[in-house]
Amino acid sequence: MNLAPALDLTFHALADGTRRSMIHTLAHGETRSAGELGRQFRSAQPTISRHLKVLEEAGIVERRVEGRVHQFRLRRKALEQAGRWITRHQAFWEGAVDQLDRLLAEGAER
């Protein structure tokens, strides 16, 4: 399975502070309307809509339309995939730097 295109979208979505705050707001599974999110972030509605669209396209939020109200909720899967990429590389470098430290210490004793 090729995750690359999906992860491109996820990391692009995460590259913005407002969008990360929106994810925090929805982190516990609450549903918020576009209007509520707009008031919370004190941004113009078109700006909020644009951010929500980026999050939706990355599969990070899902939209439910109830009449004229658009409700948003967090979907965990996209974030978990991005999290796995970060965890893997974090572990890689932690392990490598441990070994580097040991190698240099050996060299210092010689």
Partner 1 sequence: MTADKTCAEIRRRLPHPPEKVFAAFASAELVTRWLTPSPEIRLTVLEFAFHEGGAYRFAYHVPGANTVIVGGSYSVIKPPTKIVFSWVIEPPDEHAGIQSEVTVSITPDGGGCELLIRHEKFERSDAIERHSAGWRGAVDQLTELLNEEE
Residue 33's φ and ψ, nearest 5 degrees, are -85, 160
Q: Are 42 and 49 in contact (CB under 8 A)?
A: no
Query: What is the per-residue binding string for partner 1 in 11-30, x denoting contact by CB under 8 A?
Result: xx-xx----x--xx--x---
Cα separation, 48 vs 35, in Å, equals 9
Does 65 help bind partner 1 (rule: CB under 8 A)? no
Q: Which of 29, 104, 109, 110 binds partner 1 (CB under 8 A)?
A: 104
What are residue 75's phi and psi, to 5 degrees? -110, 130
Q: How many residues of this chain bind partner 1 (CB under 8 A)? A: 40
Residues forming contacts to partner 1 in the complex (CB under 8 A) are: 1-4, 7-8, 11-12, 14-15, 20, 23-24, 27, 79-80, 82-97, 99-104, 107-108
